[in-house]
Amino acid sequence: MQISFAPPASVEAGALVLGVFADGVLSNAAAAVDRRSKGALARAVKAAPKFKGGRDETLALYGVAGFDQIVLFGLGKPEDVDAVRLQRAGGAVAALLNHAGVGSATAQFEGIVLAGQGAGAAAAEFAFGARLRAWRFERYRTKEKAEAKPSLKALVIQTSDAAAAKKAFARADAVAQGVFLTRELVSEPANILYPESFAAKAKELEELGVEVEILGEKQMRKLGMGALLGVGQGSARESQLVVLQWKGAGGKRKGEAPVAFVGKGVTFDTGGISLKPGQGMWDMKWDMGGAGVVTGLFKALALRKAKVNAVGVLGLVENMPSGDAQRPGDIVTSMSGQTIEVWNTDAEGRLVLADALWYTQDRFKPKAMVNLATLTGAVIIALGTDHAGLFSNDDALAEKLAAAGKAVEEKLWRLPLGDAYDKQIDSDIADMKNITGSRDAGSIIGAQFLQRFVNKVPWAHLDIAGTTWSGKDTPTVPKGATAFGVRLLERFVTDNYEG
């Protein structure tokens, strides 16, 4: 879909998109059309039983004022209009137009502004939401009826500050491209996306200026990464560790310590010898969601030339049962030198991250380190699919992440860490075990395990098991891979690390 911006101009036909505020108050553009139609829009809004101009509301009208279709979108009270609300409106409108078979449309934004930023910013946020919702994973569709395919090819947004809108949207579209890369990676089946092919996909970021290193099993073995390698030893696919570096801080900040992001990348998780139930196992192709988010984040940072030094580390493995697979009861030695008794081979993500986190803090000495992982089903029991779990050893870092999540509507909820939990993973014959054997506090226990490998670096763990994949559409996220975390971390970097 092509999105463009233009100054306000008369539109006489086709599909027109107009904003409405709470209680049916028409925006300036909508009021102008209402006058032309002798009050038809106001009457339609008044008669509509489920449209009052509220957040996320839409109303389609046909054959009014000479237009094939007029789509009204609700914004609520003018003082409550923020970036997220405009993004959701853009996404809802794009979905409606695609469903209706509309090929092109014009949105008129006179009278709609974003507080403190103006009309151009409002139009850009609307466009960003439309872009996010219009994405579709269709690589493997070979037989689909024409009417089922997306129809919207062009959206023109008229605003009094088209130049500002175009500039703001260019940055937002860079973020969208990062989101789309993550959605693509998470959507791919495991016979296509496995550690080596994932690493090759990450290697493509070199074209954007990202430095990419790929460590194979021989190199990881020399580094002593027994925890990560133990997870992948049952697979015919070779495990990989991918290191991404974006060196965007210039001037006096050129040599400053980076902020680091570490992603769990289990490209398929059978559970290993501790085999998962067959029902629903197909979902385990997205157990690499954390690594997918880090990859998409670096694409976004590179495309918008972020003024930050950042490091990304992806631990990529496939967890399979075989004669060579790790067994419950095995003891592995991590890169840190700490030994781990593996009670359950399906608690594998924390083993991968143990070595990835230690490697990251040991090599790069980051000012802060954030890892993302579809780590535990327990976080879904605790928080459902609306929030991701947040754990941290640093209050200031946790607050910054939570604020960034709130700003982009990728919400986090902080859960505790503490000595009482930590003692539960002590092992009788090794330094620690990877589970407690109890169902209690499963997500906390996973985070507590990870904390043993961060070496006092300001660190946060985001458990995104409940938010990586969605079974339903939302205004800006179509059903399927969500890329939850890309926008959050991009905002986190913008607000805290770019000076």
**Which residues have a catalytic role annotated?**
276, 350
Q: Tell me, what DSSP letter sits at residue 277?
A: P
Q: What is the spatial distance between Cα 25 and Cα 389, in angstroms, rounded to a whole number? A: 39
Q: What is the spatial distance between Cα 325 and Cα 344, in angstroms, rounded to a whole number? A: 12
For the chain, the C-alpha Rg in angstroms (whole number) is 24
Q: b/e map of 301-338 (b: 16 or more CB within 10 Å)?
A: bbbbebbbbbbbbbbbbbbbbeeebbeeebebbbbbeb
Q: How many CB atoms lie within 10 A of CB 135?
A: 21
Q: Which two tokens stand for residue 318?
A: 């496939």
State whether residue 168 is helix, strand or coil: helix
Q: b/e map of 369-390 (b: 16 or more CB within 10 Å)?
A: bbbbbbbbebbbebbebebbbb
Return the closest-CA partner of residue 468 out of 485, 491, 446, 447. 485
State whether residue 340 is helix, strand or coil: strand
Q: What is the spatial distance between Cα 428 and Cα 224, in angstroms, rounded to a whole number? A: 23
Q: What is the spatial distance between Cα 277 and Cα 13, in angstroms, rounded to a whole number? A: 56
Instruction: Classify burial at 466, counting beta carbons within 10 Å of its beta carbon; exposed 0-12, middle 13-18, buried 19 or more.
Output: buried
Strand partners, 30: none
Q: Which two tokens stand for residue 67?
A: 């237009």
